[in-house]
Structure 1
């Protein structure tokens, strides 16, 4: 086996790890939203907002929805994109980073 065959195998294995990670993060997106929502409602700040409509977050609701959609789309592309194409293997890492950052942003925006 030559040096290039080994590096190709390693890049394919690394791509599969990224693809699997993207799929797991995509599956965990809905439970993250539910857990963040429950955490917000049981807090004093969130309970007051839900019950009386006062001291609610100044962050527009569209930001949370937008971050959710970006996370879902990037996750679907990263998890479902074909690994045979070199450009997809190269883009999958970036998609995974954007997916994870927006995943965290969704949770933070819901809790805030």
Structure 2
């Protein structure tokens, strides 16, 4: 019984602190002062930098995929005639796999070259 009362008291105490914090943060002057503070400005700069880097990386990855020989080959295989037998399907998959493996190896070589720079 005593343990349950203590838990309820702690919960009410925590809720009161949270309410005070929210009422404090709801004040426009406090928000303005926080926005002008050096740590908040730095955090905003870091967040903006991370977003821009992610956008650049996404565009670069998209461009790489669109230039990909594997993607071109998959499109070509999809537009070609319907395979007549299992051997034909196996041949197509083998060609696509070989192209994919070649591109992965080239990508690793490029990445290693960039790391060495």
TM-score interval for Structure 1 and Structure 2 normalised by the shorter chain: 0.3 to 0.5
- When normalised by structure 1's length, the TM-score is 0.33
Higher relative contact order (CA 8 A, sep 6+): 1
- When normalised by structure 2's length, the TM-score is 0.32
Name which one, 1 or 2, has greater alpha-carbon Rg. Answer: 2
Higher helix proportion: 2
